[in-house]
Amino acid sequence: MTRPAARIGPALAVLALLVAAAARILVARPLGGPLQVEWPDGILMDLRVRALAAGAIVGAALATSGVLLQAVLRNPLASPSILGVSAGAALGVMAALAIGHHLGASLVGADGGMVPACLGGGTVLVIVFGLGRIRGWLDPLGVLLVGVVVSSICGGLILLLQHLVPHGLRGDLVAWMAGTIRQGTETRALVTAGGIALVGAAWTALRGPALDALAFSDDEARAIGVQVGRVRTTAFLFAGVLAAAAVAIAGPIAFVGLLAPHLARMIVGERQRTLAVMSVVIGAAVVVGADVLAQCMSTEVGRIPAGVCTALLGGPLFIWLLRRNRREMVS
């Protein structure tokens, strides 16, 4: 029996993405001004298309990272935020910004800080992956707990950095940490992150059956022919790089890596191949939609970052989903 969500859900998700994309191009609100719906010309169109691309890439990358981590750790609570990957990537970029400021040189390139983000996120992954093993075997709960702790440590180091840098830079760092989709995101950053998101999503979809097998024990996956170590390591690598790419473009944006796979699972079920594709669509729709919301809610003093919208709306939505699923399972 096919659930109604499975029949119309995919079409609705694609429609939501298209509506959000159209809104991001057409809707704007100048600071302190009224809401405007217009076809932008010239430079405005360029800026909005860049913001749209950045939002879609960030959403897709975070969603795919969440799918991979949840599959590999057999835990629906796993996400780049909870495992500390996003915080590690953010710490990497902030450290690069702070050190660059101290040296009087930019250590964050035109790609938005992809290298320091990958270094930070990758370091966290190595630590979490290394400490979350027992007798050489991955312990999903152990990984999650280590991730939570490492995430807290990274958060502490980020706060420390904010206190150590000069006042002018501190404001920029705080704004960046809130998660902002910038209209002026550089082409190189978009191409780099877009390429990473595309390859990561394609790998996840292609290796879907192997990731399905990881839902069971390592022994079972091995017995049916999955190269467990290779698949898991590659999945971790992609999860880290995808989260780092998203952070490099927009800073840490909460809940998307957790929420998108859950919404996608409600629509298409748990086969990783279809889950990966649907999560990309939903992740992109959520971030672009949050950015539209951020644009519409501009205040006299500035715009609300998209990361604030995903956190404020995504958190309660996730709790509602969680309770709804629990009720379904109990009934």
Partner 1 sequence: MIELRAADLGWSVAAPVLADVSAAAARATVTAVIGPNAAGKSTLLRSVLGAIRPLRGRVLVDGRDVSALGGRALAERIAWVPQRGMVATGLSAEEIVGLGRFALPPDRGAVRAALSAVGLDDRRAQPFRELSMGQQQRVLLARALAQHRPGGVLLLDEPTAALDLRWAPRVLSLLAALARDGATVLVALHDLAQVAAVADTVWLVADGRLTARGPCDEVLTPSILEQAFGVPFAMVDIPSPRVAVDGRGDRADPFSAGGATADGPGLRVPIALMPVATGRSWPAPGASPGSASRTIVPP
Q: What are the residues binding partner 1 (CB under 8 A)?
A: 1, 135, 209-210, 212-213, 215-220, 222-227, 265, 269-271, 329
Q: How far is the CB of 2 from partner 1 (least distance, A)?
A: 9
Which CB, 139 or 212, lies closer to partner 1? 212
Torsions phi, psi for 101 (to 5 deg): -65, -40
- What region does 140 belong to: left with phi over 0, alpha with psi -120 to 50, or beta? alpha
Distance CA 24, CA 196 (A): 23
Which CB, 115 or 210, lies closer to partner 1? 210
Which CB, 38 or 220, lies closer to partner 1? 220
Q: How far is the CB of 228 from partner 1 (least distance, A)?
A: 9
Which CB, 215 or 319, lies closer to partner 1? 215
- List Cβ neighbours of 70 (8 Å cut-off, separation of 6 or more): 76, 77, 78, 79, 261
Q: How far is the CB of 324 from partner 1 (least distance, A)?
A: 15
Asked whether the beta carbons of 216 and 205 are under 8 A apart, the reply is: no
Instruction: Give me the sign of the Cα torsion angle 329, 255, 258, 98.
Output: negative
Q: How far is the CB of 269 from partner 1 (least distance, A)?
A: 6
**Chain CA centroid to CA 169, Å:** 25
Q: How far is the CB of 230 from partner 1 (least distance, A)?
A: 9
Which CB, 1 or 301, lies closer to partner 1? 1
Residue environment code for 100-109, b if the CB has 16+ CB neighbours within 10 A, otherwise e: bbeeeeebbb
Asked whether the beta carbons of 76 and 87 are under 8 A apart, the reply is: no
